[in-house]
Each structure stands twice: as structure tokens, then as C-alpha cells.
A and B are shown apart, each in its own frame.
Chain A
Amino acid sequence: SQELEQSPQSLIVQEGKNLTINCTSSKTLYGLYWYKQKYGEGLIFLMMLQKGGEEKSHEKITAKLDEKKQQSSLHITASQPSHAGIYLCGADLNSGNTPLVFGKGTRLSVIA
């Protein structure tokens, strides 16, 4: 079973609208990372959250990690075509020496 679930799988929004993408873990999150992937390109690091209740923003993108550290949300305000792409959450699910586990991603399309 998938350790990290992202929802929705895909999203089409009109330019200027707000949207939220969720990432839910079946285990405690020791670190949560948001990445963005454009078609044909690698993943670009957006933000990292570590503490329960933490919230970070970068331009019009805000990410939060809930208090229980098993869910994160990514919120985009006033979406633009440049926000289009695939958003992936990656997580540290273990306090030991383990690599990031990724969700399946959310494909975002922004239409004019």
C-alpha cells in the first residue's frame, strides 16, 4: 500500500483561483518536502516542513504540516499558468537512515 497519499490526483483551475493539494501519511512524518515537476524536467525543491503546526510560504505558495505530523497541505493563492506542473510530496518516514518516500503527485493545470 502507498505510504503517502496525495489528493487530488489532478486538478484543473482557472487562472486567479485558489487551490489546495493534500498529502497524507500512514506514519508519523519526520520531515515533509514539497517538490514541483514540470513536464520533461526534474523535480524542483519548494519547501521543507519539520515541526508540527509549521507553515512556510514562498511567493504565492504556502505549505503547512498539521500538529499530529501526518498530513501536509499545499495552498496556492491566485494561481497563474506558471504554477502548472506536478506537485509531489516527499517524506522522511523514519528517524533512521532512509531516503525520501514520495507520493504519486498531483497534476495541476491552470487555464486562462
Chain B
Amino acid sequence: DTAVSQTPKYLVTQMGNDKSIKCEQNLGHDTMYWYKQDSKKFLKIMFSYNNKELIINETVPNRFSPKSPDKAHLNLHINSLELGDSAVYFCASSQDPPTGGFTGANVLTFGAGSRLTVL
């Protein structure tokens, strides 16, 4: 039983289209994340939700809109796709929101990734 599952695994689309990636976790975690991994393998945080509430919103274009219908799901919708959006998008979850310090709250469980290719 996959702990963090993302769909679709691969997505090929044209510039200007709108697409969504879905994520579900069955770990009972309170916090979920979207990370983007670019062609150089650089993994960068985009968003984080804790119990359906947005807690982290990095500098991401408004074309990206996350939605968390409940704490087990975090979807990512992307409008007007651009070539630069091509990347692997990873969903992740953690038991608690990041608090820094020495709590170890940042032990993340990742999904397998969704590779988005914009043509």
C-alpha cells in the first residue's frame, strides 16, 4: 500500500494548457508539501499545507494553485503552462509542520514524483 501516491506519473502537454496533479497520503500525517525538481535535479519547496491550511507559500507564479480538500489530499493545479514548468513535481508529507530546531519534524515521506513535460 503506497504511503504517498501521486497521479499522473507522467504528463505531456502543450504550452498554454491547464493541468492538475493529485496527491494522497495514507499515513495520517498532518502536513503535506509540493516540491519541484528541475532539470538540474535541484529540489525546491513550493507549498505546504497543515491540516488543510496553507502554511508555506514560496515565490511561485500565481498560475500554480494548490488545493487541500482534506488533510490526506493535496492537489496542484497549473494554469497556462509554460516551457519552464517542465520538471518533476514531488508531493511529500510529514507528521507535523516544520518547526525547525531539534524536533525532527522535517522527516518527509515522498511520493514517486510526477514528470511534467510542456511542449
Contacts and interface: CB of A to CB of B under 8 A. Distances in A.
A100 to B, nearest CB: 5
A42 B4 CA distance: 10
Contacts of A86: 41
Contact of B43 (A40, A41, A51, A102): A102
Nearest to A43: B110
Nearest to A105: B41
Contacts of B111: 42
Q: Which 6 A-B pairs have the closest CB atoms?
A: A42-B110, A102-B43, A43-B110, A95-B100, A99-B45, A42-B112
Interface of B: 4, 33, 35, 40-45, 48, 55-56, 90, 92, 97-104, 106-113
Interface of A: 30-31, 33, 35, 40-45, 48, 50-51, 86, 88, 90, 92, 94-102, 104-105, 107
